[in-house]
Chains A and B, each alone.
Chain A
Amino acid sequence: MSMEWYVVLSALLFTTGAAGILVRRSPLVILLCLELMLNAGNLALIAFSRMVGNQEGQVFALVVMVVAACEVVIGLGLIVALFRRRLPLDVDELRELRG
């Protein structure tokens, strides 16, 4: 399989995630779309790692997965805190830092 296919698929997945962030307004779904974008980046990293024949790109992908896990934990913590304060779960209404 030619490497171009993997890279174009990665670009397509990244674009889908970006479109989701632009369209959706629920913070939960926006976090899911962020995951899509991070995974598209991972796919590109691993495709390039295979293309060069060097395993270091796979270590980069593992570090990206760690960072994504941290981002998910903090994001979900924020959503739970918002929910407990009875704030609306809508990013268009949450536009002030001190609401």
Chain B
Amino acid sequence: MEEALFFVAAIGALAGAAGVVALRNAFYGVLALIVHLFSLAALFLLLNSAFVAAAQVVVYAGAVMVLYVFVVAYVGDAAEPAWEPIPGQRLLAPLLALALFVELSVAVLSSSLLALGGEGPDVEPGFGDPAAIGTLLLEKFLLPFEASSLLLLLAAVGAVVLAAHRRREEGGRAAAPAGERGEVAAR
């Protein structure tokens, strides 16, 4: 049973990842990433980490992906040009990626981690539930927890600065539209 669930979730995760890379339309790419994230949440559940799986679905597949969908809808789908600026990029990139996979697999499987072959130790029923993770976060990892909240605040302020920056310039731009347009054309 567990094997079957693992293979279903693994195929879902791989198909989602392949869809993100291969699909031309960025909107479909976002949808493929959502499939990938749900499959990963199933894998997390198989690994006895219920809280991380729930956070993955709620935060990632819920909130972050909605942000992506909004930006894709706002920016529109810019078709990638057919010509290649770097000759042989389409050919070379998969070869380099394959080399990376071989290297990672050799590094992991030839390591002396004996526990890699097993299923891990038996864990008590409370392993990875919200109470256990919350205790760890607020006791042992209090400083990283607060630092990550500061990071989130900084990111929110930075996004507002980046996205709202234009409005002031647009006021100046309405006064001299010809010059700005000429500059854009020169680019």
A16 touching B21, Cβ below 8 Å: yes
**Is the C-beta of B94 less than 8 angstroms from some C-beta in chain A?**
yes
Interface pairs A-B: 8 shortest CB-CB: A19-B97, A77-B162, A22-B93, A70-B155, A20-B21, A77-B159, A15-B101, A11-B104
**Is the C-beta of B125 less than 8 angstroms from some C-beta in chain A?**
no
Which residues of the partner chain A approach B123 to less than 8 Å between Cβ atoms? Answer: 50, 53
Can you give 5 contacting A-B residue pairs, CB < 8 Å?
A1-B119, A39-B40, A53-B121, A74-B162, A76-B68
**Cα distance, A95 to B68, chains bound together (Å):** 24
**Cα distance, A11 to B46, chains bound together (Å):** 18
Which residues of the partner chain B approach A39 to less than 8 Å between Cβ atoms? Answer: 36-37, 40
B-side interface residues toward A, CB under 8 Å? 2-3, 6, 10, 13-14, 17-18, 20-21, 26, 29-30, 33, 36-37, 40, 43-44, 46-49, 51-52, 55-56, 59-60, 63-64, 67-68, 71-72, 74-75, 78, 80-81, 85-86, 89-90, 92-94, 96-98, 100-101, 104-105, 108-109, 113, 115-121, 123, 127-128, 132-133, 136-137, 140-141, 144, 148, 151-152, 154-156, 158-163, 165-166, 184, 187
B97 touching A1, Cβ below 8 Å: no
B17: nearest chain-A partner, CB-CB: A16
A to B contact number (C-beta, < 8 Å)? 237
**Cα distance, A70 to B128, chains bound together (Å):** 24
Q: A55-B127, A72-B67 are in contact. Are A9 and B80 (CB under 8 A)?
A: no
A28 touching B26, Cβ below 8 Å: yes
B47 touching A46, Cβ below 8 Å: yes
**Cα distance, A16 to B59, chains bound together (Å):** 23
A80 touching B100, Cβ below 8 Å: no
B53: nearest chain-A partner, CB-CB: A46
B70: nearest chain-A partner, CB-CB: A76
**Cα distance, A99 to B187, chains bound together (Å):** 8
**Cα distance, A28 to B163, chains bound together (Å):** 16
**Cα distance, A54 to B13, chains bound together (Å):** 25
